[in-house]
A and B are shown apart, each in its own frame.
Chain A
Amino acid sequence: MATTFAETPLIRSKHRQEAIVRVVLGLMAVAMVVPLLAILGYLFVEAWPLLSWDFLTKNPTGGMRQGGVWSALLGTIYLVTTSLVIAAPVGVLAAVYLNEYAKQGWLTRIINLAVVNLAGVPSIVHALFGLGAFVLFAGMGRSILAASLTLAIMTLPVIIASTKESLASVPLSFREACWNVGATRWQTIRGIVLPNSISGILTGVILQVSRTAGETAPIMFTGAVFFKRIEEGDPFAYSLSDQCMALSMHLFTITTQVTEAPKALPYATAVVLLGTVLLVNALAIGLRVKLRARKKW
Chain B
Amino acid sequence: MHESAAPPPVRPLGPPKIQVRDLRLSFGSKEVLHGVSFDVDRNDIFAIIGPAQSGKSSLLKCLNRTIELVPGARQSGEVVIDGVEVSQIPSVYTLRRRVGMVAPLPVGLPLSIFDNVAFAPRAAGFHDKQELAALVERCLRQAALWDEVKDRLHTLGTKLSGGQQQRLTIARALSHEPEVLCLDEFSIAIDPVTTMRIEDVLKELKQHMTIVLVTNLVQQARRLAGRTMFLWNGEIIEEGATDVVFSEQPQSRKTYDYVNGIFG
Contact = CB atoms under 8 A, between A and B. Distances in A.
A272 to B, nearest CB: 41
Contact of A184 (B105, B108, B123): B123
Given A176-B69, A178-B119, 16 more contacts: A173-B107, A177-B107, A177-B169, A178-B109, A180-B66, A181-B97, A181-B100, A181-B173, A182-B94, A182-B95, A182-B123, A184-B93, A191-B119, A191-B123, A192-B111, A295-B110
Contacts of A104: 71
**Chain A interface mostly:** helix
Closest 5 CB pairs of A and B: A296-B110, A181-B120, A182-B97, A182-B96, A180-B101
Contacts of A184: 93, 123
29 contacts: A103-B71, A173-B103, A173-B105, A173-B107, A174-B110, A176-B103, A177-B107, A177-B172, A178-B123, A179-B69, A179-B96, A180-B64, A180-B101, A181-B101, A181-B119, A181-B120, A181-B175, A182-B124, A183-B93, A183-B119, A183-B123, A191-B123, A192-B110, A192-B111, A195-B110, A296-B111, A296-B158, A297-B110, A297-B158
Given A103-B71, A104-B71, A173-B103, A180 B173 contact: yes
Interface in A141-196: 173-174, 176-184, 187, 191-192, 195-196
B237 interface: no
A183 B118 CA distance: 12
Interface residues of B, number: 29
A296 B100 CA distance: 25
B227 interface: no
B156 interface: yes
Interface of A: 103-104, 173-174, 176-184, 187, 191-192, 195-196, 295-297
B192 to A, nearest CB: 24
B56 interface: no
B24 interface: no
Interface of B: 64, 66, 69, 71, 93-97, 100-101, 103, 105, 107-111, 119-120, 123-124, 156, 158, 169, 172-173, 175-176
Nearest to B123: A183
Contact of A177 (B64, B71, B109): B109
Contacts of A178: 109, 119, 123
